[in-house]
Amino acid sequence: MDKYRVAPNTKIKLSDWDPNDKSEFPISKSEGRKLLKSLNEELEALQELLFAEGKHKVLIVIQAMDTGGKDGTIRHVFEGVNPQGVKVKGFGVPNEEELAHDYLWRVHKHTPGSGEIVIFNRSHYEDVLVVRVHNYVPEERWSKRYDHIRAFEQMLADEGTTILKFYLHIDLDEQKERLQARLDEPEKNWKFNIGDLAERKLWDQYMDAFETALGKTSTDDAPWYVIPANRKWYRNLVISTIIIDALKKLNMQYPPAEEGLEDVVIE
């Protein structure tokens, strides 16, 4: 899956990445769904091992444009995992208390502890995306945040956190279809937000902001992956595979059993 990984300190153009790509899994949608089930089982076993060993920490960051598939990714990739060891934290508009602190304050307390996987649905990157596009703070401030973020994530990595960051890459046409579906399908009406249409008009500005963020903050220890996300089933397969590969590299082991268990008799 290295073809989707953003090299450190590079300038990228998202127009060079095909959101319809399916080259790593040249199979049908139905075959992809079957494969995902087996990947779910593998991820479930690895997550159970992570929790049992209690040594490693995993942080997964998911960013995307509106309708990009953040919720769906979490639901399908992590289907079946033990919720005791997996937490999801969504970051919306900061509240008054959060605004009174530095922008990383509300994030740090939700990073994973030993044995945990924590998934950020949106994240500290909103402070170089939405904040930049809408000019909520001067460029003099947000332009320094790339360095802050790199240092923050490096500290987490140095302290034993495995970090994986996924940008779910869709195009304008796909977003239009998904927004229309939210209008047309009654069970999806609750997802539709009129404000999304205003954000859609800022697509180019958001692409510029994402390109800068991905290029400046993808590092060896906290890599960004640009995930082709027009096909939801393909998106799920790629992300599942990357996470599974990362967990396998941790070489985890179950804790040793208590001594004397061979003499235990349960009556």
Q: What is the mean pLDDT of each run of 10 residues along the chain (267 residues)?
A: 95 97 96 97 97 97 97 95 93 95 97 98 97 97 98 98 98 96 92 91 98 98 98 98 98 88 83
Residue 262 placed within a domain: no
For residue 83, which amino acid is it? P
Task: Please tell me the distance from the alpha carbon of residue 30 to that of residue 184, in angstroms, as a whole number.
Answer: 25
Domain count, the chain: 1
Angle (nearest 5°) at CA 65 between 61 and 69 = 65
Task: Please tell me the distance from the alpha carbon of residue 36 to that of residue 42, in angstroms, as a whole number.
Answer: 10
SS3 238: helix
Task: Please tell me the distance from the alpha carbon of residue 133 to that of residue 143, in angstroms, as a whole number.
Answer: 12
pLDDT computed for residue 105 by the predictor: 97
Task: Please tell me the distance from the alpha carbon of residue 181 to that of residue 232, in angstroms, as a whole number.
Answer: 15
Neighbours of 92 (CB within 10 A): 8
CB 132 within 8 A of CB 209: yes
What's the domain range around 102?
2-249
- C-alpha R_g of the chain: 20
Residue 159 placed within a domain: yes
Residue 18 corresponds to which tokens in the numbers above? 């095909």
Which residue's structure tokens are 């999801």? Answer: 88
- The pTM of this model reads 0.95
Helical (H) or strand (E) element with 146: helix 145-158
Residue 157 placed within a domain: yes
Residue 254 placed within a domain: no
What's the Cα-to-Cα distance from 93 to each of 62, 79, 130, 194, rounded to whole Å? 16, 27, 10, 16
SS3 93: coil
Task: Please tell me the distance from the alpha carbon of residue 189 to that of residue 44, in angstroms, as a whole number.
Answer: 32
pLDDT computed for residue 267 by the predictor: 83
CB 185 within 8 A of CB 76: no
pLDDT computed for residue 249 by the predictor: 97
The CATH number of the domain holding residue 240 is 3.40.50.300
Residue 243 placed within a domain: yes
Residue 139 placed within a domain: yes
pLDDT computed for residue 32 by the predictor: 97
Residue 31 placed within a domain: yes
Residue 169 placed within a domain: yes
